[in-house]
Amino acid sequence: MSRFRKKPVVVEAFQMTQARRWDNSEWPEWLNAAWQKEIGQPGAFWRDVELPHTTLHISTMEGVMNIAWDDWIIRGVKGEIYSCKPDIFDATYEPVP
């Protein structure tokens, strides 16, 4: 068996807090573009109409991901978006100068 190390990559990320949900002015362009996509389309980002302003979702190639407050939304190296819990984000990523 061979061993491998993950290559370092730089991603864009945005932490979805309640305050940032209500004030969309801080959202990056790529997240605003995802908000405009049709529900179910890969990369779509939307809120649950049954529970307004509380439940957010991202449609990924692997299925729908639910987003909780303080989760990070990441834009990957191929433009894909997905969510990450804060503790995993802190253990995996560090700021790029």
Entry pTM: 0.83
Residue 24, SS3?
A: helix
Q: Which amino acid is at 27?
A: W
| Residue 81 is assigned to a structural domain of this protein | yes
User: Is it the case that residue 52 has pLDDT exceeding 60?
Assistant: no
Q: How many CB atoms lie within 10 A of CB 71?
A: 21
Distance CA 40, CA 59 (A): 6
* Residue 17 forms part of a structural domain: yes
Given pLDDT bands bounded at 50, 70 and 90, which one contains residue 31? very high
* Residue 3 falls inside a structural domain: no
Residue 53's domain comprises: 12-92
Query: Encoding tokens for residue 66?
Result: 């639910």
